[in-house]
Every structure is written in C-alpha cells, then in structure tokens.
Amino acid sequence: MNLINFDKNLKNKNTILIGTDEVGRGAGAGPVYAAAVCFKDFNKKLTEKLVGINDSKQLNPDERERFYDIIAENAVYDIQSCSVEEIGKLNILRCSLLCMKRACENVISKISGGEILIIVDGNKQIPDFSYEQKTIVKGDGKSATVAAASILAKVSRDRYMTELSKQYPQYEWEQNKGYMTEEHLKAVDEYGLCEHHRPKYFEKHFAQQLSLF
C-alpha cells in the first residue's frame, strides 16, 4: 500500500504517471533492459492485486512472475533493450537511459489526455526528453509504477538470459543471469569471453589475474 500511496500523492486529477526502470546495468553479459509502466487508475480491485509489490530484487522469481502477469493485464507498458554492441558503443548509462526513453515513448503513444509525469528510478533524468520527469533514488522500492517497471524488465531479461544459457551452458547464465558471480568469473577464466559478454567489464578481473603471475 505504501508504494501505491506514494504514487497517488504524486498525482492530481489530470496527471498521467509513468514509471520507468532498467535492469542489467551491472551485468557482465547480455543486454540491458528497461520498462515503462502506466496504471490508469489504482482502483480497489487493482490495489488488492498489487499488495506486496516491491523492487524486483526484493521478490523471489515466483513472485516476480506472478506480478508480471498482473501488471501486463492491468497496465499500459513497454519493454526495451540495448544490445552488447550498443553498450560497447554508447556506454551502459546512455544505453540504460535510451531504453527508458524508448519504453516511455511507446507507452505515451498508447495513452491520451492528461499531463505526463515520468518517474525515473535513480538520479539521472532521461536526456533530450520533453516530458516532465522526477528522479527518485531507489524509486523501485518507493513507487508502485517504478516497481512494476523493474519487475517487467527483470523478468524479461532473466527469461532472455535463461534461454541464451542453452547455447552457452558453460557460463551458467540460467543461474547468474550474466552478473559477475564467482562461478561466472571462473567460467570466463576457463572458456574465455563470447560475443554476448561486455569486454570492458572484465578488464579489472583480467588485470588481477595477470598480476598473480
């Protein structure tokens, strides 16, 4: 309820609230994902369905999947990603914000009327964007719409990495989702990087490995 009340306090009668968040910024492999979510109305029925919604990192996989379906059925939303190639060219921050922008634009194209207010998780606004924005540090644990965006992005990215792991079982992406866990780093040391890794993320690790010799 606190997350929903937070959003209600930001809205007036004419405000259309859109929450956006990214997932995968810290991973060493795979795309970065972002989602944007707009709940048209926090009516009693929807509020009951959203009881327990939170930052995706605070939910277990089954809870995320359950909320994913609830959000998809009750919100206007969009999910975007930037590839490893784009991350290498633009850097991860620019790609994260670009994904958010694309997702928000697609949500806005599906709604009409009212004044748009975009809640961006973190402390960076989306650049070159004409709509009003409010940045909220750790917004995925404060705002229901941002939490919803984090869930859609997290579930979508996890599904992608799990599927990708079937082609690259040695990295155990179905478990670590491309994040730089001890097991993932050991696999990289043994098998090297593949085209789905972000090479810059491993520079420090490789330097440390070389220093051992």
The helix-helix angle for 203-210 and 182-191 (nearest 10°) equals 70
pLDDT-derived band at 1 (thresholds 50, 70, 90) equals low
Q: Residue 140's pLDDT is what?
A: 95
Tokens standing for residue 163: 């599927």
What's the pLDDT tens digit per position in 100-139?
Answer: 999 999 999 999 888 999 999 999 999 999 999 999 999 9
Tokens standing for residue 35: 């989602």
User: What is the amino acid identity at position 138?
Assistant: K
Q: Residue 98's pLDDT is what?
A: 97
Burial class (CB in 10 A: 0-12, 13-18, 19+), 48: exposed
Tokens standing for residue 41: 């109305």
| pLDDT above 50 for 212 | no
Strand partners, 29: 197
* Domain annotation for the chain: domains and CATH numbers: 2-210 (3.30.420.10)
Q: Residue 114's pLDDT is what?
A: 83
